[in-house]
Amino acid sequence: MSQTDPMHNRAFIVLLVVITLAFAWLLVPFAAAVFWAVVIAILFYPLQKRLVQRMPKRRNLAACLSLLAVILVVLLPVSLVMRSLIAETIQVYRTVQSGGFSAGEWIELSYNAIPESVRPWLTRVGFDDLEAIKDYVSRAATQAIRVIGNQALSLGQNTFLFVLELGIMMYLLFFLLRDGAKLADLVRRALPLADHQRDRFIDKLAMVVRATVKGNGVVAIVQGALGGLIFWVLGIPSATLWGTVMAVLSLLPAVGAGLVWGPVAIYFALTGDLVQAAILGLYGVLVIGLVDNLLRPVLVGKDTRMPDYLVLISTLSGLTLFGISGFIAGPLIAALFLVAWDLFMMRPDHGVRAPLN
Whole-angstrom Cα distance, residue 291 to residue 235? 23
Dump pLDDT digits (tens) for 153-204. 565 556 677 788 888 999 999 999 888 778 877 777 777 777 777 777 777 7
Indicate the pTM of the whole model: 0.67
Query: Where is pLDDT greater, at 20 or 295?
Result: 20
Q: What is the pLDDT of residue 298?
A: 66
- Is the pLDDT confidence value at 352 over 50? no
- Is the pLDDT confidence value at 301 over 60? no
Confidence of residue 273 (pLDDT cuts 50, 70, 90): confident
CB atoms within 10 A of CB 111: 15
Q: What percent of the chain has pLDDT over 90?
A: 3
Q: What is the pLDDT of residue 1?
A: 43
In sequence order, what are the residues at sequence separation of 6 or more whose Cβ sits closer than 8 angstroms to the Cβ of residue 107? 130, 133, 134, 137, 138
In sequence order, what are the residues at sequence separation of 6 or more whose Cβ sits closer than 8 angstroms to the Cβ of residue 85? 152, 240, 241, 244
- CA geometry: angle at 199 spanning 196 and 200, to 5°? 85
Q: Long-range contacts for 69-72 (Cβ within 8 Å, ≥24 apart)?
A: 69/44, 70/40, 70/44, 70/173
Q: What percent of the chain has pLDDT over 70?
A: 68
Query: Where is pLDDT greater, at 171 or 357?
Result: 171
Q: What is the pLDDT of residue 316?
A: 78
Q: Enumerate the domain spans of the chain.
A: 192-348+353-357
Dump pLDDT digits (tens) for 64-114. 999 999 999 888 888 887 777 777 777 766 766 665 555 656 666 666 666
Terminal CA-to-CA distance of the chain, rounded, Å? 47
